[in-house]
Amino acid sequence: MFAGGATRADEMMRYLASRLVTTALIVLGAMLLLFTLSSVVPGDPATTLLGPQATPELSQRFIAEMGLDQPLYIRLGRFFANVATGNLGTDVISGRSVAGLIREVIPYTLILTFAAIGLAVAVGVPLGVFAATHRGSVADNVLAFVSVAFIAVPSFVIAIFLLLIFAIWLDWLPVLGASRTGALGDEVKRMILPTLALALGWIGFIARLVRTSMLEVMGEPYIRTSRAFGLSERLVTYKYALKNACIPTITILGMGVGRLLGGAVLVEIVFARPGLGRLIYNAISERNYPVVQGAVLVVVVLFVVVNLIVDLSYSAIDPRIRHETSRPGAAG
């Protein structure tokens, strides 16, 4: 399949290079798309993109800012050059730099996303192991149904129900927003419901995935051998079986970050929390296109970088994955 003499290192380098190229293509594609969107707007772009608030002065600033008075190729070049140097443009309404706006809110979104992933793994993995080791029991069946329910119900619906039950009816937790005082305890309390709303679906997903791969792995000869050697059931389950059963979970997490970022937009709005999602949403309602453009680009970059990291770590754990793209029968 491979040219004679190709070593494992060569193969790894080639995989790395092809993944890097794809990642770069995706980011370039996103930039091109975002740029094109701003130039294919029907009618006069300044009026269309700024909407009713487009005073002549604001339109002037917008045209100058977006370089709308210049030929397309110069604008495209300038856009790419600006992005490459970290300049994402200027918020036409407040006059602040888009990069600065994003830097301000990005920690909120990242903390929410990673807290949700962390919670999903911390709860989902043990639940999956429990279901696999108690296969066919009542608990296993109940867990299976609850998992599907959590996966199927949209996270913003879960968010609304959590808000109604815990913040309004029971009045246990503060309702909306991030902490104004910045006190850690208050902020943690305000994080509980949004994190839960995002994580529940992934708890169900991970629990099911771990259960399936555990059951698969438990049938492997090396597990039988470990048992025959008299290792304790706990050691076999948690050390030997779980380790291999976790591989699919890692890939799912890579996909998950993107879906979570999408879900975070809605959850941030339900809970009126600051973040990238809210920034984009507010910018859309104010028709503030430069902010939308910059924030969407940042989300795309975050998403592809996380995917790249997950893919590379996955292929380091499991070398089989590197062959996946080669075509059966064709030269690799």
Partner 1 sequence: MTALSSALRILRRVCATLTGATGFGIVAVVLFAALFAPWVATADPDRLDVMNRFAAPSFAHWLGTDHLGRDLYSRLVHGATVAMSVALSATVVALSGGTLLGILAAYLPARFERFVLIVFDVIASFPSMVLALAIVAVFGPSTLIVVVIVAITLTPHFGRVARAQALTLKSAPFLEAERILGASFARIVVHHVLPNILGPLVILASMDIPVVITIEAGLSFLGLGVRPPLASWGTLIQDGYQYLSDSWVPVVVSSLALAFATLGFTLFGEALRDAVDPRVRQEL
Query: Which of 123, 276, 134, 269 shows the shortest CA–CA distance to 202?
Result: 123
Compare residues 28 and 188 and give the one whose CB is closer to partner 1.
Answer: 28
Query: Are 142 and 148 a contacting pair, CB within 8 Å?
Result: no
160 lies in the binding site for partner 1 (CB under 8 A) = yes
Q: Tell which one of 126, 174, 248, 258 touches partner 1 (CB under 8 A).
A: 258
Q: Tell which one of 10, 96, 142, 145 touches partner 1 (CB under 8 A).
A: 145
CB of 70 to partner 1, least distance (A): 20
Q: Tell which one of 280, 310, 315, 322 touches partner 1 (CB under 8 A).
A: 280
Query: Are 323 and 18 a contacting pair, CB within 8 Å?
Result: no
Q: Tell which one of 77, 100, 118, 154 touches partner 1 (CB under 8 A).
A: 154
Distance, CA of 132 to CA of 219 (rounded, Å):
12
Query: Are 304 and 240 a contacting pair, CB within 8 Å?
Result: no
Compare residues 214 and 236 and give the one whose CB is closer to partner 1.
Answer: 214
Query: Are 236 and 129 a contacting pair, CB within 8 Å?
Result: no
Give me the half-sphere count of Cα atoms (radius 13 Å) on the Cβ side of residue 247. Answer: 17
Q: Tell which one of 3, 170, 228, 330 touches partner 1 (CB under 8 A).
A: 330
* CA distance readout (Å), 234 to 130, 238, 239: 12, 6, 8
304 lies in the binding site for partner 1 (CB under 8 A) = yes
- Footprint of partner 1 on 37-96 (CB under 8 A): 37-38, 40-41, 48-49
Compare residues 40 and 84 and give the one whose CB is closer to partner 1.
Answer: 40
Total number of residues that touch partner 1 (CB under 8 A)? 56
CB of 41 to partner 1, least distance (A): 5
- Footprint of partner 1 on 178-197 (CB under 8 A): none
Identify the three-state secondary structure at position 274: coil
Q: What is the separation of C-alpha 45 from the centre of its chain, rounded to a whole number of angstroms?
A: 31
206 lies in the binding site for partner 1 (CB under 8 A) = no
Query: Are 77 and 71 a contacting pair, CB within 8 Å?
Result: no
Give me the half-sphere count of Cα atoms (radius 13 Å) on the Cβ side of residue 15. Answer: 24
16 lies in the binding site for partner 1 (CB under 8 A) = no
Q: Which stretch binds partner 1 (CB under 8 A): 75-83, 95-103, 221-229, 291-299?
A: 291-299
Identify the three-state secondary structure at position 182: coil
Give me the half-sphere count of Cα atoms (radius 13 Å) on the Cβ side of residue 155. Answer: 26
Q: Tell which one of 265, 271, 273, 275 touches partner 1 (CB under 8 A).
A: 265
Query: Are 12 and 19 a contacting pair, CB within 8 Å?
Result: no
296 lies in the binding site for partner 1 (CB under 8 A) = yes
Give me the half-sphere count of Cα atoms (radius 13 Å) on the Cβ side of residue 157. Answer: 7
164 lies in the binding site for partner 1 (CB under 8 A) = yes
Q: List contacts with partner 1 (CB under 8 A).
A: 22-23, 25-26, 29-30, 33-34, 37-38, 40-41, 48-49, 145, 148-149, 151-154, 156-157, 160-161, 164, 168, 258-259, 261-263, 265-266, 269-270, 280-281, 283-285, 287, 289, 292-293, 296, 299-300, 303-304, 307, 325, 327-330
